[in-house]
Amino acid sequence: MTTLPSAPARIAPLRVCFVCTGNICRSPMAEQVFRTRVAEAGLEGLVETDSAGTDGWHEGDGADHRTVSVLEAGGYPSVHTARQFRAAWFASRDLVIALDAGHLRRLRRLAPTPQDAAKVRLLRSYDPALPTGADLDVPDPYYGGPEGFEECLAMCEAACDGLLDAVRQELAVRG
């Protein structure tokens, strides 16, 4: 009887969730930029991406119309439904990416364990072009004009390139 070699075990996808306040501006923008980077890198199926808000004010709503405009102008998809991040989600996420320091603190307090709290990182901490000591917050564009949304997109794009590199390294470790 011949024994066939077993197929390599399929690794579980690395799951990344982007979080801002209401899940209608910054986090859906970061989600779509990163999802596009993942697809361009041929990592679909190995990386899953979603987003949520720390608050549930906009649950069920689409992205802000200015977010949609900036995403579409940049060539990104804009389909989105807002939702609130839940503590139970930590168990199924590998990285929880906060868009500013307030989100970072709130998410770390929400985390059920120290290991879950360690999953929370600031998006701009992945921007390789930022100098040491730079402000890592992505400013909330909601109360401003279109230029704030364009600035937010540029920050997301720069940081998502670095995040993709970090995710590639993690996937290599997982083997």
- Among all residues, which ones are annotated catalytic? 20, 26, 140
- CA angle 88-174-111, nearest 5°? 20
Instruction: Say how far apart CA 161 and CA 100 lie, in whole Å.
Output: 18
Say which amino acid occupies 77.
P
Please enumerate in sequence order all residues whose Cβ is within 8 A of that of 83, keeping only pairs 6 or more positions apart, or say none.
23, 52, 53, 56, 59, 60
Residue with tokens 């720390």: 54
Instruction: Say how far apart CA 109 and CA 114 lie, in whole Å.
Output: 10
Instruction: Say how far apart CA 71 and CA 29 lie, in whole Å.
Output: 7
Report residue 163: phi and psi, to 5°. -60, -40
| Closest to 26 in 3D by CA, of 113, 114, 97 | 97
- CA angle 140-164-19, nearest 5°? 30
